[in-house]
Copies of this chain bind each other. A is one copy, B any other.
Amino acid sequence: MDSKKLALYEARAKIFKAMAHPSRLIIVDELSHGEKCVCELTALIGADVSTVSKHLALLKNAGIVNDRKHGNQVFYTLRVLCVLNFFNCVETVLKTTAKEQLQLLKKV
């Protein structure tokens, strides 16, 4: 594994890392319905504004969202829509596990 390839995997991992938190997944999900300001997302998540702001900064740094300042407020949008496809597969993983556990229980 040369360092060039490793760097590529690190860049990829950074994007997964950005998605790897419940609050940030809630944000991505919410932004799929359109642009939202920090205040709306904060209300939805129910954490401190500063915490939500840091989650947003992280998503932005990973290239997943864009921000736009309008007067007092900052509005965030999804920058790359395909991240929404992630959810389908994640659901598949969860369902596969659930089915497997059901099978195990049937054998009891």
Contact = CB atoms under 8 A, between A and B. Distances in A.
Interface in A70-105: 79-80, 82-83, 85-90, 92-94, 96-97
Contacts of A56: none
A93 B63 contact: yes
Contact of A15 (B9, B17, B62, B90): B90
Interface in A1-38: 1, 6, 9-13, 15-17, 19-26, 29
B22 A94 contact: no
Contacts of A23: 9
Interface residues of A, number: 40
- Copies of this chain held together in the complex: 2
Given A6-B22, A13-B22, A22-B13, A89 B82 contact: yes
Interface of A: 1, 6, 9-13, 15-17, 19-26, 29, 44-46, 62-64, 79-80, 82-83, 85-90, 92-94, 96-97
